[in-house]
Amino acid sequence: MNVDEVVESYVRDVAGCLPRARRNDVAFELRALLDEELAARARAAGRAPDKAMAMALLREFGRPSEAAQRYHDRPALIDAADTHHFLIWAVGGAVVFAVHGQVTPEPFNLDAALLQWLGALLLFFALAGWLRRRSPGRFAWKPGHGPDWMPRTLSAFSLAALLAFPVFMYAAPVTFARLLMPSAVPVDGLALTDAFAGSWQRGLTMALLLVLALQEAITLVLGARRWWLRRAGVVLDLALAVMFFAHASPMHRPGDGASFAVFESAHANAVAAPVFMAVGGMMLLFGLYYAWRNWVEIRPGPAPLAGAPA
């Protein structure tokens, strides 16, 4: 190849990395720039440009994709600022799926689940980055209220929701379903087995749910979610995750080791098992995420007043 063919090949590869609307203009500009630089080097060397001189120049310009990036900045699929959030959710999801694979009695393809989770995260973060670049004003940073912030109205709503949904529903599933469903819908299949009704698993889970409601009640009284409440919330989330995972797998009585299910109805157990697993996974993700939030949290001391004596 002669000098012109080398330069033309480089320009063509650079233009191929650019959007169609910019290819011709950039190719014309880059070709003129390379010809000018090559002519200057030839004058300085006192000889005609050759292939070696052209290759040395092009190596300084970088690979075609790198040169194209200087003309048109193509954003990464995941913004660098989102890397730590991506890693947090990726690791959290991997932990959830690993636990799920250990406790579920059904065959579970861990590798496929991890690939699907990473693919979903990649699509989500790529879409989030695209939306931020498309509408920067809508997604601009706004000052937060601080980690202690929790208005009493929101706290009261959360407390009422906790008492109605997880606490009451878990304590009396048949009564809860009768209040929620039409009278024509049979709900007797939600009756608990005697073994589960008196089990330590149910007692501990009920206690954890009540402590979760108590935590929200304390937040309501204080009008803020203090640091010790946030740390207690992480422990509660992780403990509830373990218990709901246990609900999704066969449980055993202490002593004789006999297995028992949650509901009298086999169909209700088949439907509830993936629900318990999903709730356990959600609680585990929340626990890991808020554990990270507590770990990176700063609590600086009060700043000295201006003009105050040292």
User: Could you report the per-residue pLDDT of 235-268, keeping only the tens digit for each?
Assistant: 999 999 999 999 988 888 887 888 999 999 999 9
CB atoms within 10 A of CB 191: 14
The rounded percent of the chain whose pLDDT value lies above 90 is 61
Instruction: Tell me: pLDDT of 105 over 80.
Output: no
Question: For residue range 58-95, what is the model confidence (pLDDT) as tens digits?
Answer: 999 999 999 998 998 888 889 888 998 899 889 888 98
* Shared domain check, 158 and 285: yes
Among 43, 71, 99, the domain boundary falls at 71
Q: How many domains does the chain have?
A: 3
* Shared domain check, 185 and 242: yes
* Shared domain check, 212 and 166: yes
Residue 108, domain extent: 80-134
Using CA atoms, how far apart are residues 5 and 9, in angstroms rounded to an integer?
6
- pLDDT grade for 106, boundaries at 50, 70 and 90: confident
User: What integer best gives the mean pLDDT of the chain?
Assistant: 90
* Shared domain check, 271 and 163: yes
Q: What is the pTM of this model?
A: 0.72
CB atoms within 10 A of CB 118: 15
* Shared domain check, 261 and 176: yes
CA dist 258 to 1, 194, 219, 255, Å? 81, 13, 41, 8
Question: For residue range 275-309, what is the model confidence (pLDDT) as tens digits?
Answer: 998 899 899 989 988 998 888 887 665 555 555 55
